Amino acid sequence: MREELKGEIIVIKKMDIKEFREIGLLAELNRAFLHPLGLALEVNIEEDGTETLGGIWDYRDDPEGMLYAKDYFPTEQCQKAQKFIKEKHKQRKKILGFVFQDIENPQ
């Protein structure tokens, strides 16, 4: 991660939760990583449109994990996220030579 420095203070950029949801990352994170573990990240949308993280749903005791209902499967959201992820992986591979840090030999 490359931090922007202002004197001694590190400024960490943050993505808005609404953008995270709208570009499909919430749906894809849940589908590809959390749901098979029986977990789901929740986003709350308030009446004024504010979006916040609500918590982690926990169905780890369910042997099949979690699934989106067929009628509500977020196909377009997941496709948007997959396109974004593919491009980011391509950039990291080109710059770093890898996508994921090696847990045995982190660089």
In a domain? residue 49: yes
- Taking only the tens place, the pLDDT of each residue in 45-72 is 999 999 999 999 999 999 999 999 999 9
Give the number of domains in the chain. Answer: 1
In a domain? residue 4: no
pTM of structure: 0.85
- Taking only the tens place, the pLDDT of each residue in 11-40 is 899 999 999 999 999 999 999 999 999 999
In a domain? residue 72: yes
The residue segments making up the domain with residue 38 are: 17-96
Residues in CB range of 49: below 8 A, 6 or more apart: 18
Whole-number Å distance between alpha carbons of 37 and 30: 10
Which of 100, 77, 84, 62 is closest to 31 using CA atoms?
77
